[in-house]
Structure 1
């Protein structure tokens, strides 16, 4: 949700959610710039509303704009990033397999894949990843957040493993810089933890 970055607006939004029967479980500030903020609200909302209905009902708060509404597997108050690092420490030989399987939950994404940096071949995918063997056009040289049609993507190299990580979602808005920064930092730590394991990387299996 994009809203004016001034005192009282967040309270108005919270009251509006309450009137609509939603319980706010978590608020994350994704961006603050030029007098506006982009906030990510995690709600417990029996029944819920479609995005268009929500836009209409929240129009009573001046300046509010809904960027997207989508279901999430994220559990407010949980620490999936710490859990991921704990799993990596306990089994460093599977560090990047564990990363690919777990990283979608860190940023409310749907799937992730590890791509061989040299060949563009997908060497491991999370359980919801599409059945593709190559992703040659989705691996920019530096960490990036971008969209390909309805597909929103995070893409970043893991140079020490010769891999490229691609994270995707189709529901909700494009990834924000704070989400990219979070994944970059987690990947940096995992690369350090896995560094003691020679040539450690995921492998395809028949």
Structure 2
């Protein structure tokens, strides 16, 4: 029987045994946990991204119900997951960019960023020629062209208002959450889109900022032959 994968973002009380109880509850409805990433951890809670595999035809609502049957667990979002499960994603991204020809480094960045940051798409934008230039985009980047971006130049990574006037209506219709960070200079940015949410957590913005600073450094290094 074929299967499908889902990415659940869950809030759970950070106490001994809570993750084990969640795993047992998900297993009771036929879900196998493939990976778990800690997105954020506070004094009394944790936010985890959990990729689960279930038999094709299983309803996502079944996973939500199973998870929330565990005391202290709340599902923030659930969406189909088609990414490749890999560890050390950030390190691999940095290595791929550094190894690429200088002219291709930003394309490598946008191609790989969706998997690393677990977003739907990514693109590099800048201001020029009296408007917005979308320099590079991932294969899943929307075709809608931007006509303005009132947040450029940008000094540091941050989440953007998904209801701002510059956001295309089609992005709003798909409930796309947005984040951006400078790459190379404050006038050029990596723009991330996460269709259907959830919001970017502070820890994710911190990771994005960390990556953007490393990428900016790499972009300044000539590619040796």
TM-score bracket for this pair, using the shorter chain length: 0.7 to 0.9
Cα distance in 2, alignment partners of residues 135 and 33 from structure 1: 39
Matched, 1:77 2:77: no
Q: Which runs of 5+ in 1 are unaligned?
A: 199-206
Match of 1:100 in 2: 110
| 1:139 corresponds to which of 151, 156, 179 | 151
Match of 1:204 in 2: none
Matched, 1:35 2:44: yes
CA change 1:59–1:99 in 2 (3 A) is closer
1:135 shift after superposition: 5.3
1:130 shift after superposition: 1.3
1:155 shift after superposition: 0.9
Match of 1:116 in 2: 126
1:111 shift after superposition: 1.0
Match of 1:56 in 2: 65
Please tell me whether the aligned partners of residues 69 and 172 of structure 1 are also in contact (alpha carbons under 8 angstroms): no
CA change 1:176–1:50 in 2 (3 A) is farther
Q: Compute the TM-score of the two structures, normalised by the length of structure 1.
A: 0.83
1:45 shift after superposition: 2.1
Match of 1:201 in 2: none
Cα distance in 2, alignment partners of residues 130 and 170 from structure 1: 11
Cα distance in 1, alignment partners of residues 55 and 93 from structure 2: 30
1:41 shift after superposition: 0.6
Between 72-81 and 164-173, report the one with greater CA deviation: 72-81
Q: CA RMSD in A?
A: 2.5
Q: Compute the TM-score of the two structures, normalised by the length of structure 2.
A: 0.76
Matched, 1:23 2:56: no
Higher strand share: 2
| 2:189 corresponds to which of 150, 164, 167 | 164
Q: Which runs of 5+ in 2 are unaligned?
A: 1-9, 163-171
Please tell me whether the aligned partners of residues 114 and 121 of structure 2 are also in contact (alpha carbons under 8 angstroms): yes
Matched, 1:193 2:218: yes
Kindly tell me the number of residue pairs found equivalent between the two proteins.
Answer: 198
